[in-house]
Structure 1
Amino acid sequence: MDLVRESFIRDIGKELLEENVAVFAGAGMSAGSGFVNWAELLRPIAEELGLDVDKESDLVSLAQYHCNANGNNRSQLNQRLIEEFSQDAKLTENHEILCRLPIKTFWTTNYDKLLEKALSSSGKVADVKFTKDQLSTTKPRRDAVIYKMHGDVEHPHDAVLTKDDYERYHVKMEQYLSALKGDLISKIFIFIGFSFTDPNLDYILSRVRIAYDGSQRRHYCFIKKISLESGEEEVDFKYRERKQELFVNDLNRFNVKAILIDDYSEITELLRVVEFNYKKKTIFISGAAHEYGAYGEKDTLEFVHRLSGKLIAEGYKIVSGFGLGIGSAVISGALEQIYMRGNNTINDQLILRPFPQSSNSRVPLKEVWSHYRKDMISHAGISIFLFGNKVNDGDIVNSNGMQEEYDISKSKGVLVIPVGATGYMAEELWSKEIENPPSKFSKLISDLNDKTDTLNQLEHKILEIIKVKINQGEV
């Protein structure tokens, strides 16, 4: 991994903990969902003017020419916007990862609603702003703000499309640009799918650079490396390559570090690492017990209490859903350590999601519980599984809820640690992990089914496995 990528992972990870990261999304981010870029949006407009969009580099002027040719009537441009960006497109993994992370500020030049959709699917409330008047209002209980610089597909008449729109922007949207300037000064930005050809952003970056020369915030962007096109002469390729090199160097004036990629999938891989690094310090403890096997109830609850306290003491955050028998010990151990440390609030190190026991809505209780499980596990990078049994018609059976929590953890790429020695469903899940193709991690947990281990020995093994995985930094 090159130095810029390492810096990106380190810097973004550090600033995420302070909730100080912002995203600037360009057209390239929406392209993965099937939306057109500017060239394709304007292709029929260019044809109507007798021009070839593939030969044009100034697409803003192209939109203006069409407006001029139709007596300043932009209805066809507006219709193109509605046709192309109103479709219900599938989210990309990049959208999903960024909206799961604690990022509260999104800027975009896109007209679509993918960011809104991604935040909603992550259970977050988005406060969308695309006019200066909206800056003075705040949506209740908002989790993130989306600033749509060029407007929204549902309001095409106000969208920034033509040269006239760009020329008036600094006057018409002065407060909006001031808000962007403030964020560029105070936050670290991830520019994704953005070409840096937008004159409004260039205007702001230039002024931030002049005002804070030598002390600008570092930002990051992704740029696809120039590659040799089919039938292209080597001399032309080298020319384009040199031009890109000069462009990347010029971005340094604004303290924007470019991460050069060969394929767009590399962006997703880097974001996965960032997400794992952020979540790996959050541990979901899945445990349910009506009976406690050979260990006995008293010793088991003391073990869970002690394990939870040690995790808190070592700086981890715990997620719990009040599992039968086990949940109370998790919470009491965590709370005791939080109060002893005295330098963190409960919310900093403990996420609680008590399961509702009845539902008065039309949604079945089982569905509500599934939603709760997905919400809890979405915060975690590691899941620990202990015991896992319940009473069903007078019989002790393995917990299907724990099985679901295991399946959700696996689907979300969460590292699972089933403690087989505690028996019941945890032992079944341990067997599944061991049956999987051998890996470094399966070798680590293979020693967690020794029934001769004391609870103190199990506690030591669990903590050591977590330390190893954290240090490896694997996804």
Structure 2
Amino acid sequence: MERRQFVKEVANKMRKNMCDLFIGSGISAPSGFPTWKKFLLPYLESIGITLKEEEDLPLLAQYIVNKNMGNRNIISDAIFNTFAEEYPLNKYHNIISRFPVRTVWTTNYDNLLERTFSDRNPRVVSLEDSLVHPYNDTGLNIIKLHGCAKTAAKDIVLTKEDYDCFQFNKPKFAQRLREAIINKSILFLGYNYQDPNIQLIMTQAYHMMNEITNSHFILMCEITKEDGENDESFNQRKVRFDLWISELNRLGIRELVVPKSEYASVLLEIDRKAHESCIFVTGSHATASPEVEKRAQNIGRFLAEKDEVILNNGQSTGIGSIVLSSFMQHIIQNKEDMNKRIKIFPNPYIASPDYEDDPNLIPDLKSVRLSLVTNSEFIFAFSGGIGTIAEIEVARSKGRIVLPIICEKNDYDNPAIKRILDDESNVEMLKELVTNYMEIIEKREVPEDEDVKKAIQEIIDGKI
């Protein structure tokens, strides 16, 4: 599949909340966790088996258990000891943490995904009984199909017998995944699709829909010649890989194969495209001066004129309210569908004015604002107080670019504006995106309205 089309289709699915993630061990491996093959190697050697390139790993795990009189603990204990360790998150985790998805499936035993999405307070499901409880429809669900390093040994999917009996032993998991495959799209990452129970579920879903499935996607690294590998061996692996791709296509999975060095950049493109032209404007909750109010109105109107822009509103008073009002006026005058142009994110702190400047509430505010910021591609920030600073910090923690909106000379002394301009990484990206605007900022001058509009247009165009 062509890269641009792959990114576009996946991102569009995410924007519509029609895409789940399925994370395999390839995402955990860069953090230091052993691959399944490396994990099994010493146990296989102990029973006299030499591991080859293409092996039925669940069957080999079954051999190990059988050789030990059916005692699963020899491997399951090692799983708990190995995969319960605290390994660092890697670059892939940092990127996918920003994806606007609500369900993450995984066959991994480790807790890296729980930590990846920790600031979204995910509901982690590793036991079937947990599926009886209602889903977290507005938050994030992490479903661990093969169990977790912190659960009982009997819940770990490990051997050939476990795979053969998966649908009987874990029928709720199997059914829930089938429903996801039928009703939504799935993006497989770090996964080579050689997991027997997943392939069985995909095949069943395929037949349940009379051979018509949703589009599913898998991002893979291209195979390369290994050190010491001869041409015949490499060509055989390549032939098998290509045939496997054909089987994926038959089941409705469309692939993008890239060099390993480009894997992260594709994820970054999906992240940006999934939030493309979704903009959040923040600033002071206090009554604005005439100059500030006029600029906020002009920005709201200018953004509304851009058909591709979606305004994310956080139900704030002050700047946020002024921008929203101006944006809505344009939408109403042009008889556009407001639901397609504006997204509202609840803000419980508008319940009382006393909440706005309470520093004790900042940690909770950051948590509440995470969804808003994660679903915004860019943040435009006027001068503001501790709430604005909190939103800026959340935005930067998620890699979002924050553009300072300067209305008056004394804005340069505002703590929120200072927080933006003290962030060297953010400033460097702004210099590439909005060079002329940043030259004005560096001189501590007040940009004209046309300078601000030009900067906003350059950001929307994404000239980086």
Partner of 1:414: 400
Q: Which amino acid letter does the alignment assign opposite residue 47 of structure 2?
A: L
In 2, the alpha carbon distance for the partners of 1:196 and 1:327 equals 46
Partner of 1:285: 281
Out of 243, 254, 264, the position equivalent to 1:268 is 264
Q: Structure 1 residue 205 and structure 2 residue 202: aligned? A: yes
Out of 224, 228, 250, the position equivalent to 2:225 is 228
**Residues 56 and 72 from structure 1, CA distance in 2 versus in 1: closer, same or farther, beyond 3 angstroms?**
farther
Is the Cα–Cα contact under 8 Å of residues 120 and 126 in structure 1 kept in the other structure?
Answer: no
**Residues 203 and 449 from structure 1, CA distance in 2 versus in 1: closer, same or farther, beyond 3 angstroms?**
closer
Partner of 1:17: 15
Out of 57, 60, 66, the position equivalent to 2:58 is 60
Partner of 2:323: 330
Is the Cα–Cα contact under 8 Å of residues 305 and 330 in structure 1 kept in the other structure?
Answer: yes
In 1, the alpha carbon distance for the partners of 2:390 and 2:102 equals 30
Out of 66, 72, 85, the position equivalent to 2:70 is 72
In 2, the alpha carbon distance for the partners of 1:343 and 1:383 equals 23
* Range that drifts further, 53-62 or 42-51: 53-62
Is the Cα–Cα contact under 8 Å of residues 223 and 258 in structure 1 kept in the other structure?
Answer: yes
- Note the residue ranges of structure 2 that are not aligned, 5 or more in a row: none
* Cα distance, 1:229 vs structure 2: 1.7
Q: Which amino acid letter does the alignment assign opposite residue 117 of structure 1?
A: R
- Note the residue ranges of structure 1 that are not aligned, 5 or more in a row: 390-398
SS of 1:307's equivalent?
helix
Partner of 1:242: 239
* Cα distance, 1:322 vs structure 2: 4.3
* Cα distance, 1:291 vs structure 2: 9.8
Larger Rg: 1
**1:432-475: per-residue Cα shift (whole Å, max 9, x none)?**
89985995423242576699x999x61x543443333333475x
Out of 30, 33, 37, the position equivalent to 1:32 is 30
Is the Cα–Cα contact under 8 Å of residues 421 and 450 in structure 1 kept in the other structure?
Answer: no
* Cα distance, 1:306 vs structure 2: 4.2
Is the Cα–Cα contact under 8 Å of residues 130 and 151 in structure 1 kept in the other structure?
Answer: yes
In 2, the alpha carbon distance for the partners of 1:212 and 1:322 equals 45
* Cα distance, 1:83 vs structure 2: 0.8
Q: Which amino acid letter does the alignment assign opposite residue 126 of structure 1?
A: R
**Residues 273 and 473 from structure 1, CA distance in 2 versus in 1: closer, same or farther, beyond 3 angstroms?**
farther
Out of 124, 135, 143, the position equivalent to 2:131 is 135
In 1, the alpha carbon distance for the partners of 2:187 and 2:106 equals 11
Q: Structure 1 residue 259 and structure 2 residue 256: aligned? A: yes
**Residues 406 and 134 from structure 1, CA distance in 2 versus in 1: closer, same or farther, beyond 3 angstroms?**
closer
**Residues 287 and 57 from structure 1, CA distance in 2 versus in 1: closer, same or farther, beyond 3 angstroms?**
same
**1:251-294: per-residue Cα shift (whole Å, max 9, x none)?**
2211212211221x5222112112222223232324349898xx
Q: Structure 1 residue 424 and structure 2 residue 410: aligned? A: yes
Partner of 1:147: 143
* Cα distance, 1:422 vs structure 2: 3.2
**Residues 77 and 182 from structure 1, CA distance in 2 versus in 1: closer, same or farther, beyond 3 angstroms?**
same
* Range that drifts further, 70-79 or 338-347: 338-347
1:280-319, aligned counterparts within 5 Å?
A: 280-288=276-284, 297-312=289-304, 314=306, 315-319=309-313
**Residues 84 and 317 from structure 1, CA distance in 2 versus in 1: closer, same or farther, beyond 3 angstroms?**
same
* Cα distance, 1:120 vs structure 2: 2.2
1:54-203, aligned counterparts within 5 Å?
A: 57-121=55-119, 123-131=120-128, 133-138=129-134, 143-153=139-149, 154-203=151-200
Q: Which amino acid letter does the alignment assign opposite residue 243 of structure 1?
A: R
Q: Which amino acid letter does the alignment assign opposite residue 455 of structure 2?
A: I
SS of 1:32's equivalent?
helix
- Count residues with an aligned counterpart: 449
In 1, the alpha carbon distance for the partners of 2:203 and 2:368 equals 46
SS of 1:349's equivalent?
strand
Partner of 1:392: none
In 1, the alpha carbon distance for the partners of 2:172 and 2:421 equals 60
Partner of 2:343: 349
SS of 1:223's equivalent?
strand
Is the Cα–Cα contact under 8 Å of residues 33 and 90 in structure 1 kept in the other structure?
Answer: yes
SS of 2:376's equivalent?
coil
TM-score, normalization by structure 2: 0.81
Is the Cα–Cα contact under 8 Å of residues 100 and 374 in structure 2 kept in the other structure?
Answer: no
Q: Which amino acid letter does the alignment assign opposite residue 457 of structure 2?
A: K
Partner of 1:396: none
In 1, the alpha carbon distance for the partners of 2:442 and 2:118 equals 44
* Cα distance, 1:320 vs structure 2: 4.9
Q: Which amino acid letter does the alignment assign opposite residue 329 of structure 1?
A: I
Q: Which amino acid letter does the alignment assign opposite residue 456 of structure 2?
A: I
* Cα distance, 1:307 vs structure 2: 2.4
In 2, the alpha carbon distance for the partners of 1:210 and 1:367 equals 48
TM-score, normalization by structure 1: 0.80
SS of 2:188's equivalent?
strand
**Residues 349 and 313 from structure 1, CA distance in 2 versus in 1: closer, same or farther, beyond 3 angstroms?**
farther
Partner of 1:469: 459
> What is the identity percentage for the equivalent residue pairs of Structure 1 and Structure 2?
23
Is the Cα–Cα contact under 8 Å of residues 61 and 159 in structure 2 kept in the other structure?
Answer: yes
SS of 2:79's equivalent?
helix
In 1, the alpha carbon distance for the partners of 2:280 and 2:125 equals 32
Is the Cα–Cα contact under 8 Å of residues 277 and 473 in structure 1 kept in the other structure?
Answer: no
Out of 42, 45, 57, the position equivalent to 1:44 is 42
In 2, the alpha carbon distance for the partners of 1:282 and 1:347 equals 9
Is the Cα–Cα contact under 8 Å of residues 433 and 463 in structure 2 kept in the other structure?
Answer: no
Is the Cα–Cα contact under 8 Å of residues 320 and 331 in structure 1 kept in the other structure?
Answer: no
Is the Cα–Cα contact under 8 Å of residues 362 and 390 in structure 2 kept in the other structure?
Answer: no
Is the Cα–Cα contact under 8 Å of residues 434 and 455 in structure 2 kept in the other structure?
Answer: no
**1:94-116: per-residue Cα shift (whole Å, max 9, x none)?**
33433432212222211222222
In 1, the alpha carbon distance for the partners of 2:207 and 2:136 equals 36
**Residues 331 and 216 from structure 1, CA distance in 2 versus in 1: closer, same or farther, beyond 3 angstroms?**
closer
